Amino acid sequence: MKIRIVAALLALALAGCAQLAARHELRDLARTQVLVVDGAVVVAQEPLIVRRAAGDGKTADTVTWDLGTRGVLFAARNAITIDAFVKPLTRDLTPERRRQLAQQPLRDTSQVGQIRCTTNEARTVASCTLPRALKPGFYAYTIRLQRGNETLELDPNVMLE
């Protein structure tokens, strides 16, 4: 298992270097890179951190994933789903509340219906709109990629500040 993790990290590093060398420009850092390494989905940033945009307080934030499919893999149906609020930001909690949460993890799905996720027509880029009404914290989400008849999935987290 450790070898797979090291291989995945090495592949991410090499893919980033190759992309920079080929384009001679910085990649779009607003897009989270998604790769498949040895049949496993790998997200370049875990957890994915979303800092709220400055503004009127009504503007929704958007998260974008570059699925990097290169014509072999495509976004599956419901490519990205935000599944549940799983943990508040710890800086906002009292020590007593932190202890309570450590003993009883959350899986609050009451807010996820407000989140809208879509893919582009080519199914190579996915994005989700996170309304301002969402409370800050960690949200579990699922990425689904399609390779032939096989669906590859990963369940990482996004941190909304």
**pLDDT tens-digit map of 65-98:** 888 656 667 788 788 999 998 888 877 778 888 7
Residue 103 to residue 122: CA distance in whole angstroms: 43
- Judging by beta carbons within 10 Å of its beta carbon (0-12, 13-18, 19+), is residue 143 exposed, middle or buried? buried
The number of beta carbons lying within 10 Å of the beta carbon of residue 149 is 5
The mean of the pLDDT values for the chain is 75
Q: pTM of this prediction?
A: 0.70
Question: 105 with 99: CB under 8 angstroms?
Answer: no
Residue 15 to residue 128: CA distance in whole angstroms: 25
pLDDT tens for 32-49 read: 888 788 888 888 877 778
Residues in CB range of 10: below 8 A, 6 or more apart: none
Where does the pLDDT of residue 7 fall: very low under 50, low under 70, confident under 90, or very high at 90 and above? very low
